[in-house]
Amino acid sequence: MGRFLILCLALISVFLPPALASQSYVVYMGANPELTTTSVKPHHVMLSSLMGSELAANEAMLYVYNNFNGFAAKLTPEQAAQLSEREDVVAVLPNRKNHLHTTRSWEFLGLEDSYGNVPKDSLWAKSNYGKDVIIGVLDTGVWPESKSYSDEGLGPIPASWKGECVAGDQFGPENCNRKLIGGKFFLKGYEAEEGRLNTTRTGDYRSARDLDGHGTHTSTTAGGNFVPGANTLGFANGTAKGGAPLARIAGYKVCWPSTADSGGCYDADILAAFDEGVKDGVNVFSVSLGSDPPLNPLFADAIAIGSFHALKKGITTVASAGNSGPTPGTVSNTAPWILTVAAASIDRDFRAFVVLGNNVTIRGESLANEELDASKLYPLIDAASAPAASSNSSSSKYCLPGSLDETKVKGKIVACLRGITARVDKSYQVRVAGGVGVILINPAENANELLADPHVLPGLGLTYESGQEVYNYIHTTKEPLATILPARTVVGVEPAPVLTSFSSQGPNSLIPDITKPDIAGPGSNILAAFTEAHAITEEPNDSRIVKYNIISGTSMSCPHLSGVSASLKALYPNWSPAAIQSAIMTTAAQTDNTKGEQILESSNNASTPFGIGAGNVNPNGAADPGLIYDNDYADYFTFFCALGFSKNNIKAISGESFTCPQQRPKVVNLNYPSLTVSALGQSETVKRTVTNVGAASSTYTVSISKPDGVDVEISPSTLSFSALGQKKSFTVTLSKVTATEGYVFGSYTWSDGTHSVRSSIIVKSGAAPRDVSADDLN
């Protein structure tokens, strides 16, 4: 860790970002001061005095933020260090790069039936499809010609809206309407680090227009209008629509093609987008991007900072958990005021089969739209046995570029191992070498995760186990033969949902006593609108432009929850972000579609809160949660005390004076809808408060499912309410009965006979943390 980012307010690690050699930095100075005089430009003055001239300061300044106190600028590490020593600077963040981490899914979630009818208790019916709520999507932009952005059936743009569609390359106000009401782009942070965007080389647009397709997919998943007959290459045909079909969409383009990899979304640009979105009047931010652990401290993390200052305005932020699972501790976007989303499957497959010469038929997944002659068998080889002269079998078994020998591959079906390169690139390599089909085999690491891919020739993906059967057949048969039967869309698949293996997992590496992710939603093989700027795969020769694409990721599950949050916001305009989060978490589904079995992970093990959070989203349940665990802006101040922030830290970040209690509060006492004790000593008593949002007069009793080796007592065990909005508190005492190795899981549920309000309990035994009084820290 370098020494140049010394923080002035208090030398506690909570603010210390990892030192990176950046060319640009975000200077974060906390909340806006109470009285801002608009005539002076304090940040420019600050920078001028640092740089010695106003001109130099103007050149260096990238953004001055409005919704909080701070700016982004091109600085040397020495200048960054100097600024970080100032009294009024909370943190100086290197301008770090983040990454981007249908539609049957709504029917699967119960918002409509299979005929597209919407039941009376549907969140959609109750919220009028999220009418007039504004969803701001931080992503790669929008493809405005998509029918999913049609404004049919929408009234005038809400009067509160102050945003616009900013003119740029092939995009401007003429591309917007009453559905797509905003389009802005932010790339000063990108260009400070990577140089000027080369539109010729990258093909990208200097505007909110979406080259990549990711932003079009996520934004239409959140708030797309109804589009009948949407499909990808004929697959998943149906009416596409978002989670809040009558909501409005504003695209904030913050991710750009990066020289190093597939794309980059820089902190300075992300914060600028949050800033503009707040000013424009966004109600829900949808953020399908993030960084991977090691995570930056809360107030050195752009998404945590942006969402915290949005929270003050009552704006919900929904973010993806990341695609680094199933390794434990990989979850990102872990601030408690963010709704953090894991990815699960729905009950739809794109099922294809390989038939081997011994008549064994093996099931796989595919979106390939070319077909082999199914009445005929083709020679089948393991790609490991067909290396080009210039390559070797360890490269060719993965079908890496240039690794295959044409003479050995021509006319054959080729089995390639998944990994290293893009799945669709392997099928392209087989095609280049003259092969007729591809069988893509999972390695042991992601044994059961099957993603349907639009291969450029007939082909399919197989699980690890099925793949071993194919390899076995090849290696024990003199003349191995096979054919591939074309893929078909199948619905009603069991079990579903299943947590995807790529979905990032807890525990929360930053704040162990706040378990993340919070919730799971559909994120596997999701259909939504796409860019028409390039073909479905970006392989050479692929000319298949699609209006809708089927892709997977927590990037896809995140906007499902953004849409649900927007619909809840339409139904309950006065609910806080914490109330929306609580309603979604406490009503989540625990069981799959097979006779009420507990939701599985793709390993076939039962899911835990580290994978699936509170469970799979149940939107209609969230519309009527009964009780909520609420928090307002100021409630997070006590949480900051628990993290060890000083009075000055809290004043700086929040803009408000707050004195931490003498006895240092505990993170676990944040009024969160789940309960985590990551180091349980002998016992721990936790306080929670619920607010009645169900029937005015109601009585709830609690039932407990104890984690192994832990006793749980809740007092009182009955809560009686006589009015809406009434609050009641209770305590949960966890006592260690037997020391456990690793984490154990349980739950407690309040029920009035109509509503079930469930919270996960997550516990690990350990030494009780040292009690620190606030005095130690100031």
E-assigned strand segments in 269-336: 284-287, 289-290, 316-320
The residues of the shown chain that bind ligand NAG, judged by CB under 6 A, are: 198, 200-201, 229, 231, 234, 237, 358-359, 391-392, 394-395, 431-432, 541, 603, 605
CB of residue 511 to ligand NAG, shortest distance in Å:
23
133 within 8 A of 566, measured Cβ to Cβ: yes
CB-based contacts of 431, cutoff 8 Å, min separation 6: 456, 457, 541
CB of residue 63 to ligand NAG, shortest distance in Å:
24
Tokens coding 467: 């793949």
Q: Is the dihedral of CA 205, 206, 210, 215 positive or negative?
A: positive
Residue with smaller CB distance to ligand NAG, 53 or 394: 394
CB of residue 447 to ligand NAG, shortest distance in Å:
8
Q: Which of 219, 555, 602, 646 is catalytic?
A: 555
Residue with smaller CB distance to ligand NAG, 236 or 295: 236
Burial degree of 363 (CB within 10 A; 0-12, 13-18, 19+):
middle
> What is the DSSP code (8-state) at residue 370?
-
Residue with smaller CB distance to ligand NAG, 481 or 628: 481
Q: Which of 22, 101, 122, 139 is catalytic?
A: 139
Residue with smaller CB distance to ligand NAG, 369 or 669: 369
CB of residue 136 to ligand NAG, shortest distance in Å:
31
Quick check: is 534 catalytic?
A: no
Q: At what angle do helices 635-643 and 647-654 cross, to 10 degrees?
A: 140
Please spell the DSSP secondary structure of 492-556, one letter per residue.
S-SS--EE-SSS---S-SS-TTS-S--EEEE-SSEEEE--SSS-SS-STT-----SEEEE-SHHH
Residue with smaller CB distance to ligand NAG, 194 or 518: 194
CB of residue 293 to ligand NAG, shortest distance in Å:
19
CB-based contacts of 713, cutoff 8 Å, min separation 6: 732, 733, 735
The Cα 467–Cα 418 span in angstroms is 10
CB of residue 215 to ligand NAG, shortest distance in Å:
23
Of 64, 90, 95, nearest in space to 77 by CA:
95
Of 594, 575, 329, 365, nearest in space to 461 by CA:
365
CB of residue 547 to ligand NAG, shortest distance in Å:
12
Tokens coding 482: 């096979």
CB of residue 423 to ligand NAG, shortest distance in Å:
17
Beta-bridged to residue 340, according to DSSP, are 319
Residue with smaller CB distance to ligand NAG, 237 or 421: 237
Of 248, 80, 43, nearest in space to 149 by CA:
248
Of 703, 687, 691, nearest in space to 753 by CA:
703
Q: Which of 99, 214, 217, 755 is catalytic?
A: 214
The Cα 553–Cα 320 span in angstroms is 9
Residue with smaller CB distance to ligand NAG, 524 or 602: 602
Beta-bridged to residue 344, according to DSSP, are 499, 522
Tokens coding 750: 């309040």
Burial degree of 662 (CB within 10 A; 0-12, 13-18, 19+):
exposed
Residue with smaller CB distance to ligand NAG, 230 or 321: 230
Residue with smaller CB distance to ligand NAG, 237 or 701: 237
The Cα 689–Cα 485 span in angstroms is 57
Residue with smaller CB distance to ligand NAG, 515 or 607: 607
The Cα 178–Cα 94 span in angstroms is 38
- In the sheet that holds 710-715, the strands lie side by side as 627-628, 683-692, 727-736, 710-715
CB-based contacts of 243, cutoff 8 Å, min separation 6: 106, 111, 130, 221, 222, 223, 559, 560, 561, 562, 563, 564, 566, 567, 619
Q: Is the dihedral of CA 606, 608, 614, 616 positive or negative?
A: negative
CB of residue 370 to ligand NAG, shortest distance in Å:
11
> What is the DSSP code (8-state) at residue 280?
H
The Cα 300–Cα 17 span in angstroms is 6
CB of residue 358 to ligand NAG, shortest distance in Å:
5
CB-based contacts of 695, cutoff 8 Å, min separation 6: 721, 752, 754
CB of residue 200 to ligand NAG, shortest distance in Å:
4
Residue with smaller CB distance to ligand NAG, 358 or 697: 358
CB of residue 237 to ligand NAG, shortest distance in Å:
4
Question: CA 651, 23, 89 angle in degrees (round to 5)?
Answer: 15
The Cα 114–Cα 541 span in angstroms is 37
Of 268, 284, 311, 237, nearest in space to 93 by CA:
268
Residue with smaller CB distance to ligand NAG, 207 or 587: 207
Quick check: is 555 catalytic?
A: yes
Q: Is 34 left (phi over 0), alpha (psi -120 to 50) or beta?
A: alpha
Residue with smaller CB distance to ligand NAG, 229 or 492: 229
CB of residue 766 to ligand NAG, shortest distance in Å:
21
CB-based contacts of 652, cutoff 8 Å, min separation 6: 9, 29, 30, 31, 88, 90
User: SS3 letters for 191-236?
Assistant: HHHHCCCCHHHHCCCCCCECCCCHHHHHHHHHHCCCEEEEEECCEE
Supply the residues annotated as catalytic: 139, 214, 555
